[in-house]
Amino acid sequence: MLEGKNVNLRVMEKEDLPLFTEWVNKPQLFFVEKKDGSKIGFIAHFHVLHLGTGSKLLEIGYSLVPSERGKGYCTEAVEIMVDYLFLSRESMRIQACTDIRNLASQKVLEKAGFKREGIMRNAFFWRGKWTEDCLYSMVREEWKEPKILTRT
């Protein structure tokens, strides 16, 4: 369990799968739970294989149920995840991509301290159109120390 101020992140268990597959049908890692235990979304991290060097880049993705958006929960979940990844991995960089029209997601990343690197043109084919995506990252030198989690 990764404990934040208003939400916790916990590893998904087998019994969580039906709810999760309702939201998105691909493997992810952490539910975002409120302190009363209600599940309000998920945050995932995954590796993007960089074929040239064989190195693995860490990327995160997230989504909350509509009724719980705009309350700061996702920003806190991203901050917890960044702390967790930099504390537990040797990675030098965490990245995230978001559709250029997704202002809420861009705001989340900026509030959590990510820097915008540029635009990925024709990034994904989504609902019949190629998207323009913003690429964001945080590098280890910018992170410095945990915001929410503690080193134990």
Ligand X SMILES: CC(C)(COP(=O)(O)OP(=O)(O)OC[C@H]1O[C@@H](n2cnc3c(N)ncnc32)[C@H](O)[C@@H]1OP(=O)(O)O)[C@@H](O)C(=O)NCCC(=O)NCCS
Interacting residues toward ligand X by CB under 6 A? 61-64, 69-75, 98, 102-105, 107-108
Q: Which residue is nearest to ligand X (CB)?
A: 74
Q: Measured from the CB atom, is 15 or 22 closer to ligand X?
A: 22
* Token duo for residue 49: 């294989």
Find the shortest distance in angstroms from Cβ 70 to ligand X: 5
Buried/exposed 87-107: b ≥16 CB within 10 Å, e otherwise: eeeebebbbbbbeeeeeebbe
Find the shortest distance in angstroms from Cβ 147 to ligand X: 14
Find the shortest distance in angstroms from Cβ 72 to ligand X: 4
Find the shortest distance in angstroms from Cβ 80 to ligand X: 12
Q: Measured from the CB atom, is 14 or 129 closer to ligand X?
A: 129
Q: Cα dihedral angle (83, 73, 125, 101), rounded to 10 degrees? A: -110
